[in-house]
């Protein structure tokens, strides 16, 4: 089961700090679901890509968005 990190109540720059902390808890090439507010969406996606991670999905969840993030690392 893919873990979900809810950062809908957080604001930049804490949004990406918390995503990095969440990614640190999963293995390379693992997945993390991130639930976040629309105002953090662009910056978090940009920061993830700069760090070498992949956003494999973005969908709306009521008043928030759900990102599916694939952590950098070798894929099986």
What domains are defined for the chain? 4-66 (3.30.110)
CA 69 from chain center: how many Å? 5
What pLDDT is attached to residue 73? 80
Query: What confidence tier does 1 reach under pLDDT thresholds 50, 70, 90?
Result: confident
Average pLDDT over every residue of 11-26: 94
Residue pLDDT, tens place only, 24-49: 999 999 999 999 999 999 999 999 99
Closest Cα to residue 5, out of 22, 17, 28? Answer: 22
DSSP 3-state of 29: coil
Closest Cα to residue 58, out of 43, 73, 36? Answer: 36
């Amino acid at each position: 089961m893919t873990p979900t990190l809810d950062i809908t109540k957080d604001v930049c720059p804490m949004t990406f700090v918390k995503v990095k902390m969440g990614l640190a808890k999963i293995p390379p090439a693992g997945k993390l679901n991130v639930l976040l507010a629309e105002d953090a969406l662009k910056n978090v996606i940009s920061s993830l890509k700069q760090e070498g991670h992949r956003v494999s999905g973005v969908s709306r969840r009521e008043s928030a968005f759900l990102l599916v993030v694939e952590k950098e690392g070798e894929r099986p």
